[in-house]
Structure 1
């Protein structure tokens, strides 16, 4: 089994305000489906990137980090599935529910589990 991060960046979800309840309902349905399938680990939306704090190696706190070239993650799902193809299938379900593209990345194996 492998773990995958499925995520989208700030600004990717361009949904009219009136349609947000439908998006939330659809997203919750996919989460419930993933839980029922036993693949769901964790997921959720994140506060705006501008509200983040960076902690440097020197233990200095920096408010409002610089945006990355790829954009800041706005929401994510962490799943555990047998194959990359299965992860892509879940990402497609999430993309349809959230109405935005999803990035799929496999987590590297950890020396400590």
Structure 2
């Protein structure tokens, strides 16, 4: 089984405010289905109210991010699935629920994780 990251940046979700409760419930229904299917690992959203920091090998902390991750925000979930085809199907379900396209990425295999 392979773990897949399914995610979207916050600006991709352009739904009217009055539709947000329905979108949230639709997304939760897909997550409940993933849990029932035994493929859900974890998920959530990046908390934009908390500023990111970088922690160096010596433990020192600096404010900010790497330049290429400055725009890391939005929602995500990690599913463990038997194939990329299954990941595409779950991504489509999440995209329909969230009303925006999803990015699909595959985690590299690490036998100790």
TM normalised by structure 2 equals 0.87
1:5 is paired with a residue whose SS is strand
CA displacement at 1:57 relative to structure 2:
2.8
CA displacement at 1:111 relative to structure 2:
4.0
Q: Distance in 2 between matches of 1:95 and 1:81?
A: 17
Q: Distance in 2 between matches of 1:12 and 1:70?
A: 16
Runs of 5+ consecutive residues of structure 1 not aligned to the other structure: none
Runs of 4+ in 1 over 4 A off after TM superposition: none
Work out whether 1:40 is the aligned partner of 2:40. yes
Aligned residues: 113
Q: Distance in 1 between matches of 2:3 and 2:106?
A: 6
Q: Comparing 48-57 with 30-39, which one deviates more in the overlay?
A: 48-57
Q: Distance in 2 between matches of 1:8 and 1:67?
A: 19
Q: Distance in 2 between matches of 1:46 and 1:7?
A: 11
Q: Distance in 1 between matches of 2:69 and 2:52?
A: 16
CA RMSD of aligned residues (A): 2.0
Q: Distance in 2 between matches of 1:96 and 1:76?
A: 14
TM normalised by structure 1 equals 0.87
Runs of 5+ consecutive residues of structure 2 not aligned to the other structure: none
